[in-house]
Amino acid sequence: MGQMSAFWRLIGAGWVLIRADALIPRELDPLLPPSARLAARTLRLFSGPRARLGRPGQRLAGALEGLGPAAIKMGQFLSTRADIFGTPFAEDLSRLKDRLAPFPLAEAREEIERSLGRPVETLFAELEAPVAAASLAQAHPARLLDGRKVAVKVLRPGIERRVAEDSAVLRLAADLAEGLVPAVRRLKPRDFVEVVIRALDLEMDLRFEAAGCAELGEVMAKDAYMSAPAVVWQGVGKRVLTLAWAEGAPLSDPQALELPGLDRKVLAENITRGFLAQALDHGLFHADLHEGNLFVAAPDRVVAVDYGIIGRLGPGERKYLAEILYGFLNRDYPRVARIHFDAGYVPAHQDVDAFAQALRAVGEPVFGLDARDISMGKLLAQLFEITALFDMALRPELVLLQKTMVTVEGVARRIDPAHDIWAAADPVVRRWITRELSPAAKVRDFADEALKALRAIARLAEAPPVAAQAAAPAKPRPLTWFATGAAVAVVAITAIVLVFG
């Protein structure tokens, strides 16, 4: 897709939002400064008939639905933050999660047969009309020949072209933002967009999703905060995915939280702890945990579906994340500040003490408060001000993590309005700290590094001189034994110091 085509699609998207009065809706007028209010009213002169119908969330949902997969993904994200945008707005957007217009069953059958290379009847005894339709795919109830109930996910016909067009528009929007608005450059909009596009591209091959579901299912089973459905591998192709049926009610159903015997407090905690255990303990996590992808059953069972987007963290990112959370849990703001500097999240020329003071100004007012008394919109605004004040740049490798953390908290708060994400995180974070930063863990890490050094020294000591490489292999030299003894002695002494000192 060329730059000019992307430009006109971007203009078209803006026009759709203006026509629906969804760009700067009239309901925001009392909150806007005079100059912004004038601009909004000027844009509203071009609004269409739909602009006078419904609430802001309803108008925005209708506009986003027609703008394609990337716009729908944005709407799904906004719908998880009722605590920021208000419950009516979030509920109006919630239909974007799994209640979009489906494509016909006949087309789904054709897609299945084309992708699997076999007739539908050779695998499924029954294949029913779709029960959920999202931006990229829809889900059909079915039964295998052996009677097991399964869900069959099928990509929308032609969705790859739509995603490619959306990706071109996103790249153009990021380029324009970076070039025309200097204040957003530190947020690296181009890098952010590339992360989003990469995630969308991976969602276009359901074989990757099957592998992710199986991998994360093994991880989830270790803690049992949530679970994943089993993969039916004979029903997996590039555009088709077959999973065991997820028991329970989807959280996107308004009646799901009224199920008899449901423990909403524990349910919310399980979702928060399940995500953190995945990220901290295993370095991979479900990165699309909105209500449409979560099924619940009494008393507190959670089943996650849709593994098209999986986030991964390296050992360094996991360590920094755990230590930052641990520092906040203990209200140790100097420690949190130092970790930000050590990780490179804050530029080295900034003042670490001033940064700790800024963190304290954000953290202290909310500790001890009921979650219902905390304005997340105000809190996020304060955090954004701090990132600007200390010249913090967006970290592309953490985009999925940050986005998922915000989504998870939003979902948990919709389940339990009094949900305290810090209290829920505490046992998972403390477990990680105890395991990874204890004296025994330090001995283990040091021993690993010492053994690596030992092997390197041994290879160096045993290597014959360049001039003698053509001669007979050299015998081990005394330096090898010296290096071995020295390394072992260092490991032993360090272990004694760490454990007993």
DSSP 372-431: GG--HHHHHHHHHHHHHHTTPPP-GGGHHHHHHHHHHHHHHHHH-TT--HHHHHHHHHHH
pLDDT tens for 3-45 read: 788 888 888 888 888 998 988 888 888 878 888 888 888 888 8
Residue-averaged pLDDT of the chain:
83
Q: What are phi and psi of 412, to 5 degrees?
A: -60, -40
Do 495 and 443 form a contact (C-beta atoms < 8 A)?
A: yes
| Burial class of residue 359, CB neighbours in 10 A (0-12, 13-18, 19+) | buried
Higher-confidence residue of 255 and 100: namely 255
- The yes-or-no verdict on residue 133 having pLDDT over 60 is yes
Higher-confidence residue of 333 and 6: namely 333
E-only strand ranges, 214-304: 240-244, 249-250, 284-286, 294-297, 301-304
- Residue 37 contacts by C-beta under 8 Å, 6 or more apart in sequence? 29
Q: Which amino acid is at 13?
A: A
| Confidence label for 120 from pLDDT (cuts 50, 70 and 90) | very high
Q: Which amino acid is at 119?
A: P
Please state the rounded mean pLDDT for residues 361-376. Answer: 71
Strands 310-312 and 284-286, how do they pair? Answer: antiparallel
H runs (alpha helix) in 312-366: 315-329, 333-343, 352-363
Of 281, 242, 270, 271, which Cα lies nearest the Cα of 432?
Answer: 281
Q: Domain spans of the chain?
A: 3-98, 249-437, 438-500
Q: Can you give the pLDDT at residue 498?
A: 43
Least confident of 113-122, 153-162, 476-485: 476-485
Higher-confidence residue of 369 and 203: namely 203
Tell me what percent of the residues of the chain surpass a pLDDT of 90.
34
- The yes-or-no verdict on residue 220 having pLDDT over 60 is yes
- The yes-or-no verdict on residue 479 having pLDDT over 50 is no
| Confidence label for 267 from pLDDT (cuts 50, 70 and 90) | very high
Cα torsion for 355, 357, 361, 364, to the nearest 10°?
Answer: 120
Do 84 and 128 form a contact (C-beta atoms < 8 A)?
A: no
| Burial class of residue 38, CB neighbours in 10 A (0-12, 13-18, 19+) | exposed
Please state the rounded mean pLDDT for residues 340-363. Answer: 90
- The yes-or-no verdict on residue 370 having pLDDT over 70 is no
Q: Can you give the pLDDT at residue 486?
A: 47
Least confident of 8-22, 156-170, 425-439, 483-497: 483-497
Of 302, 221, 229, which Cα lies nearest the Cα of 267?
Answer: 302
Instruction: Read off the tokens for 308.
Output: 């098209």
Instruction: Read off the tokens for 214.
Output: 């199986």
Strands 301-304 and 294-297, how do they pair? Answer: antiparallel
Measured between alpha carbons, how far is 76 from 73 in angstroms, rounded to an integer? Answer: 5
Q: What are phi and psi of 457, to 5 degrees?
A: -65, -40
| Confidence label for 480 from pLDDT (cuts 50, 70 and 90) | very low
Please state the rounded mean pLDDT for residues 156-177. Answer: 88
- The yes-or-no verdict on residue 363 having pLDDT over 90 is no
Higher-confidence residue of 434 and 144: namely 144
Q: Can you give the pLDDT at residue 200?
A: 81
Residue 266: count of CB within 10 angstroms of its CB? 18
Residue 434: count of CB within 10 angstroms of its CB? 11
| Confidence label for 266 from pLDDT (cuts 50, 70 and 90) | very high
Measured between alpha carbons, how far is 277 from 223 in angstroms, rounded to an integer? Answer: 8
pLDDT tens for 431-457 read: 998 888 766 655 655 566 666 666 776
Higher-confidence residue of 100 and 282: namely 282
pLDDT tens for 53-72 read: 788 888 998 888 888 787 88
Side-chain-side CA neighbours of 10 within 13 Å: the count stands at 18
| Residues with catalytic function | 288
Q: Can you give the pLDDT at residue 499?
A: 42
Q: Can you give the pLDDT at residue 484?
A: 46
Q: Can you give the pLDDT at residue 141?
A: 97
Least confident of 332-346, 435-449, 464-478, 486-500: 486-500
H runs (alpha helix) in 86-188: 87-93, 95-98, 105-116, 159-180
Do 59 and 35 form a contact (C-beta atoms < 8 A)?
A: no
Do 11 and 174 form a contact (C-beta atoms < 8 A)?
A: no
| Confidence label for 462 from pLDDT (cuts 50, 70 and 90) | low
| Burial class of residue 346, CB neighbours in 10 A (0-12, 13-18, 19+) | buried
Least confident of 179-183, 215-219, 221-225, 454-458: 454-458
Q: Can you give the pLDDT at residue 270?
A: 96
Strands 149-155 and 137-144, how do they pair? Answer: antiparallel
Tell me what percent of the residues of the chain surpass a pLDDT of 70.
82
Strands 240-244 and 149-155, how do they pair? Answer: antiparallel
Please state the rounded mean pLDDT for residues 131-146. Answer: 93
Q: Can you give the pLDDT at residue 23?
A: 82
- The yes-or-no verdict on residue 481 having pLDDT over 70 is no
- The yes-or-no verdict on residue 230 having pLDDT over 90 is yes
Please state the rounded mean pLDDT for residues 307-325. Answer: 88
